[in-house]
Structure 1
Amino acid sequence: MSRDELVKKIAANAGTSQKVASAALTAVLEGITESLKKGEKVSLVGFGSFSVAHRKARNGINPKTKKPLKIPARNVPVFKAGKNLKEAVKKAK
């Protein structure tokens, strides 16, 4: 599902315009992004939680040249699915 399709679905379910739905989606995504930038955890009960994990620096190998390289430490976003989301996906097939 693309962003446009999601906006249309939100607008239809909420009975509002696509412009309002797009603004709401943008606000939610910006709020999650800002919280993660601050290192805060964002929990949406039943859906899941977003957090930031720190990956240590490590050595790797360039698959093309087979030469060793150093991969720097960095922070990465992590999503852990909630119980309701896991159950919904599990029953989807």
Structure 2
Amino acid sequence: MTKADLVKIISESTGIIRKDVAVVVDAFLQAIKDSLSQGNHIEIRGFGTFKLKTRKPRVGRNPKTAQRVPVPARTVPTFKFSREFKNSVSNVKIDE
């Protein structure tokens, strides 16, 4: 599912025109980015939590040359689904 698909589904289920829904979805996603860039975490109850996590420095390997390369510490965004969300999709069958 793409963002456009999401906008279409929300528009059809609420009766709000797609243009307005797209503005709200974009603003929601931007609010998440802005909050994380300020070091905050976002908890959406029943859905999940966006957080920042610091990865430790490590020694990596260049796959072409097999040379060892230092990889510095870095901060990465993470998302953890809520238990309620996990339970709601636990019995879904997926086609592989």
TM-score computed with the length of structure 2 as normaliser:
0.91
C-alpha distance after superposition, 1:31-64 (max 9, x if no partner):
1101100110100000000000011211111112
Residue type of the alignment partner of 2:85? L
Q: Which residue of 2 aligns with 1:17?
A: 17
Give structure 1 regions of 4+ aligned residues with deviation exceeding 4 angstroms. Answer: none
Deviates more, 1:15-24 or 1:83-92: 83-92
Q: Which residue of 2 aligns with 1:66?
A: 66
Residue type of the alignment partner of 1:21? V
Task: Give the alignment of 1:41-56 within 5 angstroms.
Answer: 41-56=41-56
C-alpha distance after superposition, 1:20-39 (max 9, x if no partner):
11011001100110110011
1:84 Cα deviation from its structure 2 partner: 2.3
Rounded to whole Å, the distance in 2 between the matches of 1:79 and 1:87 is 16
Rounded to whole Å, the distance in 1 between the matches of 2:38 and 2:5 is 30
Q: Which residue of 2 aligns with 1:79?
A: 79
TM-score computed with the length of structure 1 as normaliser:
0.94
Rounded to whole Å, the distance in 2 between the matches of 1:6 and 1:64 is 40
Q: List gaps (5 residues or longer) in structure 1.
A: none
